[in-house]
Structure 1
Amino acid sequence: MSAIINDIEIIKAKATKINDVDFDNLKFGHVFSDHMLECNYKNGNWEKPKVVPYQPITLDPSAKIFHYGQSVFEGMKAYKDTEGKVWLFRPLDNYKRLNISAKRLAIPELPEDYFMEGLKALLEVDEDWIPQNEGSSLYIRPFIFASGNGFHASPADAYKFIICTAPSGAYFAGEVKVLIEEKYSRSANGGVGYAKAGGNYAGQFYPTQLAVEKGYQQVIWTDDNTHEYIEEAGAMNIFVRINDTLITGPTSDRILDGITRKSIIELAKSEYIPVEVRKITVTEVVEAAKNGSLKEMFGAGTAAVISPISGFGYKEVDYDLPKLDNTYASFLKKCITDIQTNKTDDPFGWRYSVK
């Protein structure tokens, strides 16, 4: 889709909240910047987006988002380097995936210019909110939801596209212990698992809650049919290192095409790390843990970048992973974050200058 925006209306907040923020102690996604981008879909067209003060949204109780769950989102980050220049990481991939998700949920696709120029206008207004502290960034949440009214089970006739931002520290602190799921499924063939739909995450909360009660932090999702194949780690893609080979499952109807996932695969190959994209059985992982060939497991996603897994549980048995001095996880995370924050060259063309 294409549309050209010549200028975006900017309505500035009367006062800033930035002076009340402790940028040295930022939780993830708890503090929100002064402004947001807002764009409405009405009468068969997306209206021109505008930047407005961050504020509550007023909706009719019959708005279809509440009843039929038409909602998709993305997760991105903006970074500020030591010279104060602002960067994004593969933003067009986020835009394309947002529309892939939207199409699957019968939501009107968004023009590229509305996304990219709207985001740049928002970042320009709230540039001071982008942290320069090590490990911090400005988390960006674009989302679209059904704002049209009615109880009829059908797609809405009106939608809202919004981008909010939140200066944030690390998503996870340290390593996590996970439970391999034997009963519940994140998604199914022919379903919406490949879309970043809000309902996908809502469905994860209960099984994760059960895992937390058993002493784990996250769930390793398995396939919906046999529960024999490892698919995702919590809300992230998963990587397994057996001996020196890095393995991750192929994308499908059930597995999100993660941007960090794609970056890790390409980066690992460029560093001559053996990579296999194939199905991984639970049995293979358990046997590797038993014979010592399982060296690492980690989740990969925008929020955490890479989250190391220290151990996993399966069928009432816990398996600890070895503590290595030089891990793929730490090496690849540093490579990616150095590119994101303009500390190193970017041979892949992933880094995007905002201005």
Structure 2
Amino acid sequence: MIKTVYTIGTLLVGGAEVFLTNLISKLNLNKYDVSIIVLDKENNTFLEKKLNDLGIKIYYLNKKDGFRPFTFIKIYRLLKTINPKIIHGNIGGMIYALPYVFLKKNIKVIHTTHTLASLEFGKLKRMVLKYFYKRSLIIPVVISNINYQNFFTTYKIPKHLIKIINNGIDIDKFYFERKFNSSEIRLGHVGRFEEVKNHRVIFKVYESLINKGYNVSLKLIGNGSLLENYRKKYKDVIFIESSSEIAKELKDIDFFVFPSLYEGMPLAVIEAMASGCIILSSNVGGLNDLVEDGVNGYRFDFQNVEGFVQTIEMLYKDKKLMAKIAKNNQKKVSEYSLTEMVRKYEELYKG
């Protein structure tokens, strides 16, 4: 079996963490002997449970916040013990593996950038990574065409060294035949409660529609540092900290509002597309690849509350248009199959 190590910052529920769990769950585990090195502590999330049920070895380093030099030694010793043929880094974990990558020969190393490369790391870390990318010591993978351009602009390495592999989901699991027969405007969002997700705009859209006299519901799924502040303020909103049944939760959401400040290729949006939700997003990062304005959703400047509100009003009054956009979404999402994503990563592991 091929010893394969994945590194990641945490297994709290987020896009990169769901990506990693999905990838491993569909990987040929008779061929790949998989371990995960997690910088964070164990958090007893449903992702951790799923990986444990698959028999995956997980090493938690219990790293505290901030830069921790001793973590380089911990990871070096751990990798030396495991002796992997493949290392696949995600969200922060790769940085601490660099000494091992530099010293070890005959190893394949891949790093997936889950957001814009210009925002993933600070200047010093980017300079170090550029050294590894340029010499093909690490194969960089980006998750959308927009991210590809941003990666090239940020690192200025030859374009042929950068690989594009779209994020993928289990499309059949999320597919839902929508009727759009509710008298309620059903808004929703899946994402961690952090500044980057821009929840304040979602709440402003919600309040504006209520003030105009509409019957509105809002369901928000996710955890994070800002959750409690919002939960105290908005008593009528449905807050779900974590769910292993996102496909079921999406059935109660018609308008999926996603006004992020920046994004890579958000799995939450791809899942909502497969479920037939109407996507109303900001016009940043990989969202420009996912959402074709007026065809399978609508894009706005992330501060344009009125744009979100007016479009929701227009759509709410035109159920045929809502149904058409939902169908276009489910057609578009065929490009983001989990099976295809796993096949491409396995090709990269072999190549």
Same fold (TM over 0.5): no
Q: Please, what TM-score do these two structures have when normalized by structure 2?
A: 0.32
More strand by share: 1
More helix by share: 2
Q: Please, what TM-score do these two structures have when normalized by structure 1?
A: 0.32
- Structure with higher RCO (Cα < 8 A, 6+ apart): 1
